[in-house]
Amino acid sequence: MLFAFICQDNPGSLQLRMDTRPEHVEWLNSINADGTVTFAGPFLDAEGKPNGSLVVVKAETIERARAIAAADPYAKVGLFASVDVRPWNWVFNKPEA
């Protein structure tokens, strides 16, 4: 099952995001060793600067998806004002289709 993490950064936290980015990318690579991450990337503000994240993962349950989201270094350092974990169905342009 797929789950989308819709993450909104705290205001004024761009430097925290940039400082934590190497750990975040390393973490994404490590959990993707078994294909957990379907895709991921930042939301951008009007100036093109990151201000949130969209991460889609494969997980057996929503509880497991929430545990994955909580393990993100961005979440651990308090970057996010909110993280919404939602079941998601990939219908259009799905590579396996």
pLDDT at 94: 81
35-71 burial code (b ≥16 CB/10 A, e <16): ebbbebebeeeeeeebbbbebbbebeeeeebeebbee
Class of domain 2-88: alpha beta
Separation of alpha carbons 80 and 82, rounded Å? 5
- Interval 1-30: pLDDT, tens: 999 999 999 999 999 999 999 999 999 999
Separation of alpha carbons 12 and 23, rounded Å? 20
> Which residue ranges make up each domain of the chain?
2-88
pTM (2 d.p.): 0.92
- Interval 28-64: pLDDT, tens: 999 998 899 999 999 999 999 999 999 999 999 999 9
